[in-house]
């Protein structure tokens, strides 16, 4: 690949998830999107969600894997991370799929990711921790690392993260690690998200209540339920409540410094963000506090910029990512 | 409407020898198995359409709509349209109709989440 390992510090890259709007609108084919990312100098390290950009996922053919590697080589990009999914609830309202099927589902995705040249996969906490001893040896055999994504409402102090940490200690392998997603330690709800709810007609009283409930302790879906119950009683429209409730599912407000506990086993980072201000800072997530923990803690992997404003804005994300990468490089360089 | 909210596909509505064919898009950022998709209702010019014999077509495969919940290993690629075949309905080519589609999805890695999506669009029959 074209990566030159002259720097030993953290690298910046991008996940194609940032460009979800342009992708869903069929503005680019995969090769065109890769070339656009390369042309804008956002690589070389990139992340791709298997189930977003690969038609054949979870079982990619040898033929497509070769085509993909050629596309990447031509664009001068490096396949750093492939996001895989722990889809357990395949029948709504019924029991989750059995453990053996879930383990095999992960193996299928690991094989595909390896075949396409990715050096690690992002996986999810929906995988019960006791199944890790069945999957980890397979990742070792394939020689591909696995990072579980610590995504809101999870954070370093969450019981599920602690249970994974104990299993990681027990299995003691460099093939397993963390992928922090900073949405779990947002300092506030992004103003751009609130503005999108306002544009749909949500009233200030609903958004004030949202801000109040969002910082309360408790599970996200319980808090969403609490807001919903209150809002319906107060006569707010279901549409406005759905727009406001988005905040519960993608953001939580734990301590930004709490990431310190996970730095040692962090193999990759999701630089989640929503909007870059004119002051070169992110509107909701305190990067100035978070990134030095990783920089000074010896993290040498890649932070991929992950713009999620497409959950409520029609923008294509390219300019946002450029500004976000500039901010991350500035902080990694110690400025 | 955001791209992720679109459920009526770019290919729109077309007349077939058996009835009508409606293009549908998956309202999510990634591909999902068809088993978690539920087509709630279709209205054409305000009138509810009987979907009891409807079929879903995707990438060469066709399933009865009522069996969609069984398709746990058939993935709806998020860029592509799936097609709802509605037998017994007819519309003249070139005529315009207001189509309202309503769909639920339950993302299979977020327990308990069920999202409702609706879209209404005036379509010219192809």
Tens-level pLDDT at each residue, chain A (335 residues): 444 444 578 999 999 999 999 999 999 999 999 999 999 999 999 999 999 999 999 999 999 999 999 999 999 999 999 999 999 999 988 889 999 999 999 999 999 999 999 999 999 999 999 999 999 999 999 999 999 999 998 999 999 999 999 999 999 999 999 999 999 999 999 999 999 999 999 999 999 999 999 999 888 889 999 999 999 999 999 989 988 999 998 899 999 999 999 999 999 999 999 999 999 999 999 999 999 999 999 999 999 999 999 999 999 999 999 999 999 999 999 98
Length of chain A: 335
Are the C-beta atoms of residues A184 and A154 closer than 8 Å to each other? yes
Distance, in Å, from the CA atom of A112 to the CA atom of A60, rounded to the nearest integer, reads: 5
pLDDT of residue A177: 98
Which residues of chain B are within 8 Å of residue A20 when distances are taken between CB atoms? Answer: 3-4, 29
Identity of the residue in A91, A124, A221 whose CB atom sits nearest the CB atom of B69: A91
Kindly give, in sequence order, each residue whose CB lies less than 8 Å from that of residue B26, ignoring residues fewer than 6 positions away: B7, B32, B37, B76, B78, B82, B105
The helix or strand, by DSSP H or E, that contains position A138, with its residue range, turns out to be helix A132-142
Of the candidate ranges A94-98, B56-60, B91-95, B109-113, the one whose mean pLDDT is the lowest: B109-113
CATH code of B59's domain: 2.60.40
The helix or strand, by DSSP H or E, that contains position B43, with its residue range, turns out to be strand B37-44
Judge: B109–A90 Cβ closer than 8 Å, yes or no: no
Q: What is the dihedral of CA A180, A182, A187, A189, to 10 degrees?
A: -140
Residues forming beta bridges with residue A302, ordered by sequence position: A11
Q: Nearest CA to CA, how far is A8 from chain B (Å)? A: 33
Distance, in Å, from the CA atom of A302 to the CA atom of A325, rounded to the nearest integer, reads: 11
Quick one: closest CA in A to B70, which residue? A91
Identity of the residue in A49, A221, A314 whose CB atom sits nearest the CB atom of B30: A49
Residue A82 tokens read as: 């492939």
Kindly give, in sequence order, each residue whose CB lies less than 8 Å from that of residue B40, ignoring residues fewer than 6 positions away: B102, B103, B104, B116
Distance, in Å, from the CA atom of A144 to the CA atom of A313, rounded to the nearest integer, reads: 35
Phi, psi of A149 (to 5 degrees): -85, 120
The helix or strand, by DSSP H or E, that contains position A304, with its residue range, turns out to be strand A302-307
Domain around B13 = 3-124
Judge: A52–B10 Cβ closer than 8 Å, yes or no: no
The arithmetic mean of pLDDT across residues B53-67, rounded, is 97
Judge: B109–A51 Cβ closer than 8 Å, yes or no: no
Which residues of chain A are within 8 Å of residue B109 when distances are taken between CB atoms? Answer: 85-89, 124, 126
Judge: A26–B32 Cβ closer than 8 Å, yes or no: no
- What is the three-class DSSP state of B9? strand
Residue B19 tokens read as: 């009835």
Count of A–B CB contacts within 8 Å?
86
Distance, in Å, from the CA atom of A229 to the CA atom of A223, rounded to the nearest integer, reads: 10
Statement: residue B76 has pLDDT above 50: yes
Are the C-beta atoms of residues A268 and A179 closer than 8 Å to each other? yes
Q: How many other C-beta atoms are found inside a 10 Å radius of the C-beta of residue B40? A: 12
For chain A, state the CA radius of gyration: 20
Which residues of chain B are within 8 Å of residue A124 when distances are taken between CB atoms? Answer: 109
Unique residue bearing structure tokens 């999620």: A308
State the pTM of this model.
0.94
Are the C-beta atoms of residues A19 and A326 closer than 8 Å to each other? no
Distance, in Å, from the CA atom of A145 to the CA atom of A81, rounded to the nearest integer, reads: 9
Nearest residue to A150 (alpha-carbon basis) of A126, A121, A184: A184
Distance, in Å, from the CA atom of A164 to the CA atom of A176, rounded to the nearest integer, reads: 10
Q: Tell me, what's the ipTM?
A: 0.94
Residue A91 tokens read as: 């029948």
For testing contact with chain B, the best of A92, A128, A154 (most B CBs within 10 A) = A92
Residues forming beta bridges with residue B123, ordered by sequence position: B97
pLDDT of residue A39: 98
Judge: B30–A85 Cβ closer than 8 Å, yes or no: yes
Residues forming beta bridges with residue B105, ordered by sequence position: B37, B115
Domains: count for chain B = 1
What A23-27 contacts at long range (C-beta under 8 Å, 24+ apart), as own/partner pairs, is: A23/A52, A23/A53, A23/B78, A23/B79, A24/B3, A24/B4, A24/B6, A24/B25, A24/B29, A24/B78, A24/B79, A25/B3, A26/B10, A26/B79, A27/A316
pLDDT of residue A7: 56
pLDDT of residue A4: 45
- Structural domains present in chain A: 11-189+252-332 (3.20.20.150), 191-248 (no CATH)
- What is the three-class DSSP state of A49? strand
Are the C-beta atoms of residues B85 and B18 closer than 8 Å to each other? yes
CA dihedral sign of residues B28, A27, B74, B102 = positive
Identity of the residue in A55, A90, A221 whose CB atom sits nearest the CB atom of B112: A221
Q: Nearest CA to CA, how far is A204 from chain B (Å)? A: 22
Judge: B30–A52 Cβ closer than 8 Å, yes or no: yes
Listed by number, the residues of chain A in 96-115 with a beta carbon closer than 8 Å to a beta carbon of chain B are 96-97
Strand ranges inside B45-114, DSSP E: 47-48, 55-58, 61-64, 75-76, 82-87, 96-105
How many Cα atoms occupy the beta-carbon half-sphere of B5 within 13 Å? 15
pLDDT of residue A2: 44
How many Cα atoms occupy the beta-carbon half-sphere of B95 within 13 Å? 11
């Amino acid at each position: 690949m074209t990566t030159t390992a002259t720097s030993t510090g953290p690298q910046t890259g991008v996940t194609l998830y940032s460009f979800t709007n342009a992708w869903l609108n069929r503005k680019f084919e995969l090769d065109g999107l890769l070339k656009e990312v390369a042309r804008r100098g956002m690589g070389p390290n990139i992340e791709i969600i298997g189930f977003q950009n690969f038609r054949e996922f979870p079982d990619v053919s040898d033929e497509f894997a070769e085509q993909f590697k050629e596309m990447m080589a031509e664009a001068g990009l490096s396949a750093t991370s492939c996001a895989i999914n722990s889809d357990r609830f395949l029948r709504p309202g019924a029991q989750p799929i059995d453990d053996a099927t879930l383990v095999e589902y992960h193996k299928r995705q690991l094989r595909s990711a390896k075949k396409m040249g990715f050096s690690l996969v992002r996986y999810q906490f929906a995988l019960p921790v006791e199944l890790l001893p069945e999957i980890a040896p397979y990742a070792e055999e394939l020689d591909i690392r696995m990072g579980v994504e610590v995504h809101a409402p999870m954070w370093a102090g969450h019981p599920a993260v602690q249970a994974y940490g104990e299993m990681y200690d027990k299995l003691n392998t460099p093939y397993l690690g963390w992928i922090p997603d900073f949405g779990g330690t947002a300092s506030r709800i992004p103003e751009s998200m609130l503005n999108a709810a306002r544009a749909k007609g949500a009233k200030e009283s609903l958004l004030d209540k949202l801000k109040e409930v969002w910082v309360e302790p408790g599970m996200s879906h319980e808090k969403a339920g609490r807001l919903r119950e209150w809002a319906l009683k107060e006569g707010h429209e279901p549409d406005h409540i759905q727009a406001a409730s988005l905040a519960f599912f993608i953001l939580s407000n734990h301590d930004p410094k709490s990431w310190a506990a996970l730095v040692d086993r962090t193999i990759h980072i999701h630089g989640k963000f929503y909007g870059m201000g004119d002051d070169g800072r992110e509107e909701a997530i305190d990067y100035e506090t978070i990134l030095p923990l990783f920089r000074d803690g010896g993290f040498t992997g890649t932070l991929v910029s992950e713009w999620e404003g497409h959950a409520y804005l029609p923008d294509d994300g390219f300019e946002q990512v450029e500004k976000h990468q500039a901010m991350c490089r500035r902080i990694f360089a110690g400025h | 409407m955001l791209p992720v909210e679109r459920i009526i596909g770019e290919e729109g509505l077309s007349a077939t020898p058996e009835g009508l064919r409606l293009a549908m898009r998956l309202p999510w950022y990634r591909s999902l198995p068809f088993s978690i998709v539920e087509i709630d209702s279709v209205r054409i010019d305000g009138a509810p359409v009987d979907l009891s014999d409807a079929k879903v077509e995707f990438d060469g495969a066709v399933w009865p709509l009522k069996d969609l919940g069984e398709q746990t290993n058939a993935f709806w690629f998020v860029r592509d349209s799936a097609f709802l075949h509605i037998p017994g309905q007819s519309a003249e080519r070139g005529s315009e109709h207001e189509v309202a589609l309503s769909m639920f999805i339950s993302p299979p890695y977020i327990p308990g989440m069920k999202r409702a999506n609706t879209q209404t669009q005036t379509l010219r029959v192809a």
